[in-house]
Amino acid sequence: MGSAPLLALVFMMAISMAIGFVANRSSEEGGFLKGYFLGNRGLGSWSMALTATVMSGGTFMGFPALVYKYGWVLALWIASYMMVPLCTFAILGKRMGQLSRQTGAITLPDLLRERFQNPALGIAASVLMICILTLSLVAQFKGGAIVLQVVLPALPELPSDLTTMLGRPSAFMYGLAIFALVVVTYTIFGGFLAAVWTDVFQSILMAVGVLIMLPLALAKSGGLEAATLAGVQAQGIGFAYAPGAGRDFLPLGLAASFFCMWSIAGMGQPATLVRLMAFRDTKTLRHSIFLLAIYNSLIYLPLVIIFICAQTILPTLASPDEAMPKMALAVAPPLVAGLILAAPFGAVMSTVSGFLVQISSALVQDIYHRRIDPNAPEATLRRISHLSIVAVALLAAVGAIYSPPFLQAIIVFTGGSAACAFLVPALMAAFWSRATARGALASMLGGVLTVLALYIPGWLAGGKSADPGIGEEGKFYPIFLLGIAPFVWGLLASALLGIGVSLCDAPPRPELVRRFFAEEAPPSPTAGN
């Protein structure tokens, strides 16, 4: 394979480290908490668009693995990403920005606490966000380790009894250690701005990598018809058909569920909501919607085509999660392959840095600073932030060693759980003056518990209770009640509980309603008139 792919990744990691160093200097301008965790609310249009692309290990590792395995139906799943800018920025963007400035909130739990004037709601939001994002990091760490596993040169083998116990080859463990060290270092240095600026750089890199890979894949596979026929021969007739055509993957109810996965549930992702608290002004938000819609189209549609082609080029791939790195090495010269591999690796790194900052902010701002030591000096807060990032990264790395085979299974669970926890409370906070703290808390807890109630029996049954079309026995899959994904039921329960409990509860205090929902006073008359 040569050293060119590895050199390209090393170059990309060096740039990320440099970005973290520069971001560290810029984030100090507004004080540690506001600068480190929110970038001083100064994101511009490009920063907003390219850091809210929902790119992650799921985009470049988990999603391609499913396209490779199951075919064209995944185009319907991913089509909902095209709607993310409209549903998220257009519906929630302006109002979340207003609330964050009215409350002075730095984190999402901060905002919910201040909007409803309820500390218990803030604590619950912090705990849920920490748990969900930490589990989500497991998939990202696994994705980063897989990319490095493919490109690393031969290194000394770990003891055989250790690799047997871990269930992972030595190359995976080396890749995991290197990935964790790099991403933790630059996140500690730069905080929120490191994540944002690295997102911008790596999002551009992703677009370039995908657009280079598309013609190469089409040329080597002999075209879409040949690739589709190869997929049908390898995986069955369902590879070429949409839901409801006799296929056993994503039947109609699940296809509809996953179409809603990001277009609706995407609004409730903590990573997106915190971006909506950090943009500069309304003009920035409008421009971001347009830019993000174009960018998503340039990324996701080519990815479907590329990994349809992979069935011809990589017919005997052992692990579908290796489809992206193996495909890059198969279709491109070594140096170009390294640049292409920088795209999925960059996607994973940018997601990890953003999640680590959010988890750290919840631990430091929402729990330690508010509940334990409100007078803690900035030096103490900084030290605890850095230690929390290291601790969470270690926990996620251990989880990556024992994670299930399909990355996307973890991402669907964590993404759905996050939406069921935060989407309805965020909508209530933003648009419903009658909403109460008890209603928001019931909505948050009820949504998550509904998802768990459908996942836990599936886990206990070893996957045998799962719909046969969404996974294999013994894997990370739930019960699909009436053929519908658990997060749809979770969102329904969250909405019913939020509305019902709020209406049964006493109305919120009038001064609280006036503070957040009173119309703006007319401008003062000009002096002398």
Residue 189: φ, ψ to 5°: -65, -45
Confidence of residue 411 (pLDDT cuts 50, 70, 90): confident
Mean pLDDT of 461-485: 62
Q: Yes or no: say if 251 and 78 are a contact pair by the CB < 8 Å rule.
A: no
Tokens in use for 6? 């590895």
More confident residue, 383 or 528: 383
The helix/strand/coil state of 300 is: helix
Predicted local confidence at residue 21, as pLDDT:
63
Nearest to 468 by CA among 236, 188, 263, 197: 236
More confident residue, 466 or 287: 287
Instruction: Say how far apart CA 266 and CA 260 lie, in whole Å.
Output: 8
Least confident of 115-119, 186-190, 256-260, 352-356: 186-190
Tokens in use for 445? 């807890």
225 pLDDT higher than 70: yes
**Is 254 among the domain residues?**
yes
**Is 88 among the domain residues?**
yes
pLDDT, tens digit, 9 for 90 and up, residues 302-311: 888 999 998 8
**Is 478 among the domain residues?**
no
109 pLDDT higher than 50: yes
197 pLDDT higher than 90: no
Predicted local confidence at residue 425, as pLDDT:
94
More confident residue, 357 or 517: 517
23 pLDDT higher than 60: no
Instruction: Say how far apart CA 64 and CA 171 lie, in whole Å.
Output: 22
The helix/strand/coil state of 43 is: strand
Alpha-carbon distances, residue 28 vs 5, 107, 188, 276, 419 (angstroms) = 36, 17, 13, 21, 32
Output the 3-class SS for 459-470.
HHCCCCCCCCCC
Mean pLDDT of 168-187: 83
Mean pLDDT of the chain: 76
Full-prediction pTM beyond 0.85? no
Radius of gyration for the chain, computed over Cα atoms and rounded to the nearest angstrom = 23
245 pLDDT higher than 80: no
Predicted local confidence at residue 384, as pLDDT:
84
Most confident of 21-25, 110-114, 352-356, 409-413: 110-114
Q: What is the CATH number of the domain that holds 76?
A: 1.20.1730.10
**Is 53 among the domain residues?**
yes
Q: How many domains does the chain have?
A: 1
Instruction: Say how far apart CA 104 and CA 71 lie, in whole Å.
Output: 47
Q: Yes or no: say if 304 and 76 are a contact pair by the CB < 8 Å rule.
A: no
pLDDT, tens digit, 9 for 90 and up, residues 333-377: 877 777 777 766 766 777 777 778 778 877 877 777 777 877 878
**Is 507 among the domain residues?**
no
Predicted local confidence at residue 32, as pLDDT:
43
Least confident of 295-299, 486-490, 516-520: 516-520
**Is 518 among the domain residues?**
no
Least confident of 33-42, 187-196, 236-245, 493-502: 33-42
Q: Is 257 exposed, middle or buried (0-12, 13-18, 19+ CB in 10 A)?
A: buried
**Is 467 among the domain residues?**
no
Structural domain boundaries enclosing 281: 4-404
**Is 148 among the domain residues?**
yes
Least confident of 40-54, 93-107, 167-181, 293-307: 40-54
Instruction: Say how far apart CA 348 and CA 140 lie, in whole Å.
Output: 5
Q: Give the other-Cβ count within 10 Å of 225's Cβ.
A: 9
Instruction: Say how far apart CA 335 and CA 226 lie, in whole Å.
Output: 28
DSSP state letters, 54-106: --SHIIIIIHHHHHHHH-TTHHHHHHGGGGHIIIIIIIIIHHHHHHHHHHT-S
Question: Who contacts 343 (Cβ-Cβ below 8 Å, separation ≥6)?
Answer: 60, 202, 205, 206, 208, 209, 210
